[in-house]
Amino acid sequence: MDDPSAIAQSKVPRMTRPVLAALAFQLDGRPDWMGQALCGDILDEAVRRGGFMAVSRHTTFRGNRTRQDLHALGANAVISGTTSRTALSVTLDRQDTAPETLTLPVEALGTLRDTADRVADWVIERLGGPLPLPEPEQPSARPEIDPKTHAAVLEALERLWTFTPDGNAAALSLVTDAAERDPTAPAPQALRAMLLTRAYRSGWLRDRDVVLRQVETALGAAYDTWSGEPVLCWTTAFAEAMLRRRYPVAAKLTRCAVEMQPHHSPALTWGALFLTYDLDFDGAEALAQSAMRWSPDDPMLITQGFAGALAAIHAGRDHAALAFSDLVLSRNPKMINVLRIRAAALFNIGEASAARAVMQQILAIDPAETRTLIERVNPLREWPGFGRYLAGLRGAGMPLGHAP
């Protein structure tokens, strides 16, 4: 190549950014949720304000992982922390340098927000500082919040991350109390809207009218005092999509959350569904792929795969839909939502006999499965392109059924 500009450019050092990861802090004598919550908050803020990437805590906090495990997942800077009787010690372990430690008085655990921000500042500084963006594009500091309110939000998130009915109920109780005590704080309201929606959609709450009124009240309070933090974006997106069916709103909020915290696997995973419902199939599939990339051992792995399969089948990428489906069905071979996608995709690529075999599996699990039911309840039912999916199900042998 005889191109002077290319030769000159080849001498310019390429800007790179670290990939972070974290091991849950070991805090002796503290509540069980606090070590994970504080560490996760530090990681999230370092990513948001530092412009870094990270492996999701939803993978790195699972099992007895080591720093070497996290390096193998692609991280080159690992945050960990422990306490002694008098101090909180936070260690930053990079592959290319000796570990560094920040020591704070143990009393710092009494103000979790301030401590998280201080440690995130230190991590960002040690890793080269924030991105040199124009001033209007620089991420702002988080707004002030009552320490008790912030602690309640962090604990509620830890309860949510158990992905159990009891965890959801405990989280809802925490944010309801926090919202009553501190009604101008948006985070408890946003989380309350999300948790109520999740409880209703999971069948743990039954009265939709009551839930809808409570969710709309909580959303209104969150929007009235909106501060734009990622946790506000993905929680309100969940309520907007899963209860109100305001998919363009949910998609916009999802993109805001992911732009600030592109490692946050719940925002990526649920967001992939919301973008599909808003007919952004390319964006949805990309989010599902990112969720798998940055959280390969996620408790929502099945949802990651379902979100990818759903986006791919409606984008007409049947082979991709099959690949996502295989991932899910290897973990849960009776997941009907994904078996439907697999049956339609197989028929669409000309594998009619295999498609019919999958449909027989579906009907053995639930003989009431019909195309009429799918047309009535599927979130994409109003989209004109939905007919392709129905045609695939028809070709695979799903009965028409009767109108209600």
Query: With 80 as the cut, is the pLDDT of residue 3 above it?
Result: no
- Model confidence at 1, pLDDT cuts 50, 70, 90, reads low
What average pLDDT score do residues 243-264 get?
A: 98
How many helices (H) and strands (E) would you count in the chain?
Answer: 19, 5
Alpha carbon separation from 145 to 227, 260, 296, 306 (Å, rounded): 11, 20, 33, 37
Overall size of the chain counted in residues: 404
Nearest to 54 by CA among 37, 38, 41, 35: 41
What average pLDDT score do residues 185-194 get?
A: 98
Residue tagged 């009535």 (tokens): 376
Retrieve residue 70's tokens: 């996290």
Domains 19-130 and 259-404 share a fold: no
Q: What is the pLDDT of residue 13?
A: 85
Q: What is the pLDDT of residue 326?
A: 96
The model carries a pTM of 0.95
Q: What angle do CA 264, 184, 248 make, to 5 degrees?
A: 45
Question: How does pLDDT run across 65-100, given as a tens digit for each residue?
Answer: 998 999 999 999 999 999 998 999 999 999 888 999
Retrieve residue 207's tokens: 């009265």
- Model confidence at 294, pLDDT cuts 50, 70, 90, reads very high
Sorted by sequence, the CB contacts under 8 Å of residue 72 that are 6+ apart come out as none
What does pLDDT average to over the chain?
Answer: 95
DSSP string, 302-357: HHHHHHHHHHHHHTT-HHHHHHHHHHHHHH-TT-HHHHHHHHHHHHHTT-HHHHHH
In this structure, CATH architecture of domain 259-404: Alpha Horseshoe (1.25)
Question: How does pLDDT run across 351-388, given as a tens digit for each residue?
Answer: 999 999 999 999 999 999 999 999 999 999 999 999 99
- Model confidence at 119, pLDDT cuts 50, 70, 90, reads very high
Nearest to 192 by CA among 157, 161, 146, 148: 157
> How big is the chain by its Cα radius of gyration, in Å?
23
Comparing 6 with 246, the larger pLDDT belongs to 246
Cβ-contact 136, 165 below 8 angstroms: no
The distance from CA 254 to its chain's CA centroid, rounded to whole angstroms, is 9
Question: How does pLDDT run across 303-347, given as a tens digit for each residue?
Answer: 999 999 999 999 999 999 999 999 999 999 999 999 999 999 999
Retrieve residue 71's tokens: 């390096």
Pick the CATH number of 19-130 from 3.30.70, 3.40.50, 1.10.3470, 2.40.128: 3.40.50
Domain chopping of the chain, boundaries = 19-130, 148-245, 259-404
Q: How far apart are CA 53 and CA 32, in angstroms?
A: 27
Q: What is the pLDDT of residue 10?
A: 81
Question: How does pLDDT run across 211-227, given as a tens digit for each residue?
Answer: 999 999 999 999 999 99
